[in-house]
Chains A and B, each alone.
Chain A
Amino acid sequence: MVKFCWFNLMPWPDLPDDFRESNRSVWVDIDSRLFDPERANEVYHTYMDQLEFADALGFDGIGVNEHHQNGYGIMPSPNIIAAGLARRTSRAALCVIGNSIALYNPPIRVAEEFAMLDVISGGRLVAGFPVGTSMDTNYCYGQIPALTRDKYAEAHELIMRAWAEDEPFAFDGKYNQLRYVNCWPKPIQRPHPPIYIPGGGSIETWDFCLDHDYNYSYLSFNGYKAGKVLMDGYWNRVAERDKDDSPGRAAFAQIFCVADNDAEAEKLYAEHILYFYNRCLHVYPGFADAPGYRTIKTIKAGVLSQVRREAQRKFSILTWKDLVEGGYVIAGGPDTVREQTEHMIKTLRLGTVFSLLHMGDMPDEKTRYSSQLFAEKVMPQLQHLWPELEGDDRWWPTGMDDRVRPEDGLDHARRPAVKPALDEPAPATPPAIDGEG
């Protein structure tokens, strides 16, 4: 089965019209006065309702991620959102893509919280381990750029050992020294939940995924046409490494806008998608790439245009036509969207599609409309594109059979107390508690 995960970046919906002119960056040093906590009360609940709605619509997964000091992501702790979703959904996988494991001190915290989420959700967790962007990791959270990848590798080793081992062990790391590692609780999924690694195209990340049979998730906002070159590189690497070519090894993030027809899609969604591209992606290039964060090999292969003087003077303003023709957005009536999505899944060889159906300042009713059309008229015809994925459960949680289904209502949580039956005589004196008396 191809898996569709409904994803919400949780953007702040009230960035002003002149945001680009009056702000240096949407990320790191964004004007924090733009955030209105009382308005955010409604925003968070709207976004969480949408994620629950996606579960009801039949999406295979619902997805959240981690960003800091970021105008397009008010979710510094995706685990908090996922915990809420674990209580109010019981079907879709919870895709936390993910926790930037180099940022947690100590990273055993991630092993514990992910285990809690997996247990509460009845084994529905997909665990993402991003290195994290330079904006988040270096500029917001102060990690030393040239040591970030090394610290990430150590955090990964610690978490996986913490989940795997049954006896307490000492971990003498360079960044973490723990005398008694003893992960409590442990996840339901053994030996561990499916691991997804968001990446941007460095060969080191591809190899890391292949070494461990983790999913490689290419999360960009440039769309499937631009993503083809990079995914081709990944699949070439899979072949070079003599790994099986299960589509479950690859995930991709894509923006979708579905309406009755192509013209209606533009009318309904264009302004909100443009809000995202032209305001939410307004990142000061001085924060894009702390020196030392990327490997030299990656820099040599990279694009330099954003640090040029002229690039600062005339930001290109993207239009709807640019976005649709460039494949940044798959938009239109259900037939158009289905056709392009099928093409994307086949050409990029995707097992999982992170489906971005809320973007920018899209209002709730439009988000629901687009999502429902996608779920009813696009998704069902595409889920069976890869027969070879049937029975291959390396890449997706199956969930515990007889799990608790708490979303069935407040009534159960609030049921009145009933006096317990007094079958056994109560002990005459309460048992002593250690450390007391």
Chain B
Amino acid sequence: MAALTERVVQTRRGIDIEVRSGGTGPDLVWFHGLVGLAPVEPTLEALADRFTVHAPIWPGYGAIDNEGAIEDMLDFALLGWDIVDGLELAQPHLVGHSFGAMVAGEMAAIARTDLDRLALVAPFGLWLDDHPIPDPFAVLPFQLTDLLFADAANAGQLLSAGTDLESDEGLAEFMVANARRLGTAGKVMFPIPNRRLSKRLYRVTAPTLVVMAAEDGLITEPYGDAWADAIDRAELTTLDGAGHLANLEQPAALADALAAFFTA
């Protein structure tokens, strides 16, 4: 598996963005989700064997204090394209995971010919009244693993990356990071993760793969159908044994599904 290295890219707007990059092959941009990038991302490393992977870190999720510049969905979507510009990529594949899929979907609707293919993994962004998504903003730290993983017992350490949520220091560190991360994501996710993307999805003309996690506690099965129905050239696939953080729980299966779709 190829290792990724981190650097800082400045966007045209002047926002500094940390980006993890590595690998060889066609360009693939991965927009991470609600909990950010883990220190080691096995899915990205597996993809880097076949693609040149670029994984930007959203404002609020990295070391740089850059979240003040982002206030709404248009800010996020244009930031996404500004990052692609800053990386000097032409028509990359876009992958959005979780909240990152909500932004990637907007990007694909706004500039529908600027990407090759699109993949949405456990995507936020639609809302079905009959299937309300649990509120990720009203969850206590110790409840997170149950919500995010199929197998919470084995996955707890994947999430906190060794941080002990039962210790004072670990909890304090987590609370600060969580406030920055979810505070920033909350600008487009709170109180309902729906910024009316559904009325713009008709513009998404890129071939699209919707990847659902079979045991996702947040984005459940009916959402997969809704996404597939709303996007013209969408395929739907489901990963078994995966919760919302399928990237950590089933990295090989997720990387294989994405690679098969992008090389088809």
Contact = CB atoms under 8 A, between A and B. Distances in A.
Interface of A: 138-139, 142, 144-147, 174, 284-287, 290-294, 296, 299-300, 304, 307-309, 312
Given A299-B179, A307-B175, A291 B191 contact: no
Given A147-B71, A300-B172, A307 B140 contact: yes
B137 A309 contact: no
Nearest to B139: A286
Given A138-B190, A290-B190, A307-B171, 19 more contacts: A138-B137, A139-B138, A139-B191, A146-B183, A146-B184, A146-B186, A146-B187, A147-B71, A174-B71, A284-B138, A291-B178, A291-B186, A292-B184, A292-B187, A304-B175, A307-B142, A307-B175, A309-B140, A312-B140
A144 B190 contact: yes
A268 to B, nearest CB: 38
A284 B137 CA distance: 13
Which 9 pairs across A and B sit closest by C-beta, in order of nearness? A292-B183, A291-B182, A146-B183, A286-B138, A142-B191, A309-B142, A291-B179, A291-B183, A144-B190
B171 A304 contact: yes
Nearest to A142: B191
Interface in B162-183: 166, 168, 171-172, 175-176, 178-183
Contacts of A296: 176, 179-180
A292 B181 CA distance: 8
20 contacts: A138-B190, A139-B138, A146-B186, A146-B187, A147-B187, A290-B137, A290-B138, A290-B186, A291-B181, A291-B183, A292-B179, A292-B182, A292-B190, A296-B176, A300-B172, A300-B176, A304-B172, A304-B175, A307-B141, A309-B166
Contact of B138 (A287, A292, A312): A287
Contacts of B186: 144-146, 290-292
A145 B175 contact: no
Contacts, number: 78
Contacts of B171: 304, 307-308
B165 to A, nearest CB: 8
A257 to B, nearest CB: 34
Contacts of A308: 142, 166, 171
A386 B166 CA distance: 48
Interface of B: 67, 71, 137-143, 166, 168, 171-172, 175-176, 178-184, 186-187, 190-192
A144 to B, nearest CB: 5
Contacts of B178: 291
Contacts of B172: 300, 304
A309 B186 CA distance: 24
B183 A145 contact: yes
Contacts of A290: 137-138, 186, 190
B187 A299 contact: no
A67 B137 CA distance: 20
A186 B71 CA distance: 34
Contact of B140 (A138, A147, A286, A300): A286
Nearest to A309: B142
Nearest to B179: A291
B234 to A, nearest CB: 30
A138 B189 CA distance: 12
A57 to B, nearest CB: 42
A294 B182 CA distance: 12
Contacts of B182: 291-292
Nearest to A25: B138
Contacts of A304: 168, 171-172, 175
A401 to B, nearest CB: 48
Contact of A299 (B138, B143, B166, B176): B176
B107 to A, nearest CB: 21
A144 B75 CA distance: 15
Contacts of A144: 186-187, 190-191
A284 B141 CA distance: 13
A77 B116 CA distance: 53
A294 B179 contact: yes
A51 to B, nearest CB: 33
A34 to B, nearest CB: 20
Contacts of A291: 137, 178-183, 186
Nearest to A144: B190
Contacts of B176: 296, 299-300
Contacts of A300: 172, 176
Nearest to B183: A292
A392 B186 CA distance: 44
Nearest to A292: B183
Contacts of B137: 138, 145, 290-291
A130 B175 CA distance: 24
Nearest to B172: A304
A9 B174 CA distance: 34
B75 to A, nearest CB: 12
A284 B182 CA distance: 19
Contacts of B191: 138-139, 142, 144
Contacts of A309: 140, 142, 166
Contacts of A142: 190-192
- Give the most central of A142, A146, A284, A308: most B CB within 10 Å: A146
A29 to B, nearest CB: 9
A348 to B, nearest CB: 29
Contacts of A174: 71
B99 to A, nearest CB: 13
A69 to B, nearest CB: 13
A256 to B, nearest CB: 35
